[in-house]
Structure 1
Amino acid sequence: METSRETKYAEAKEKVEKIRGFYNHLIIYLIFVGVFIFINYRSGAYFWAIFPIAGWGLGVLGHAAGTFDLVPFFGREWEKNKIKEFMEEDRNLF
């Protein structure tokens, strides 16, 4: 069985990996926003770049919400409570 310290370390490491993944996603998004705008400007067409920028932006917002627990439901506390609930059910079966 893992100790409390090992568990906290594993949770902290997982959180750091999630944050790093989000920032990588954000940086790539910002680079491509610039690319889309540049291509759109050079093509002289209507502002079509707004569609991929907005769509991908929603994905980035969703990633941020999941990374930083911004959604009040299905967050880290909900997850912990569900895990405890299922562990109790398993314990009661035996």
Structure 2
Amino acid sequence: MNDAEFELITSPLSQSIEVAGHTFDVQIYNSEKPGLWILEVVNPNGSSFVWDEHFPSEQHALDAFWACMREEGVGELLDDTTTTPPANLARH
């Protein structure tokens, strides 16, 4: 299968989530590796954060978002000037 034939599968757990008055677009989709899921969070300013880790299930990916909110708080995903994204994230 080449890149043109690859089709992403978006999880029904993808959703907009409001935390502390800020809405985050939480996208969970299947990677090129069957059974592994990617977590991407877009903040209200349009900055995208993608977890480096792939998850064994859609629920694990959503749980990682909530763990980030508990451990790092919303500030880490709101700060568009930071050069170092929160742990396990790649900024896009």
| TM-score between the two structures when normalised by the length of structure 1 | 0.24
Greater Cα radius of gyration, structure 1 or 2: 1
Greater per-residue strand proportion: 2
Calculate the TM-score normalised by the size of structure 2. 0.24
With a CA cutoff of 8 Å and minimum separation of 6, indicate the structure with the bigger relative contact order: 1
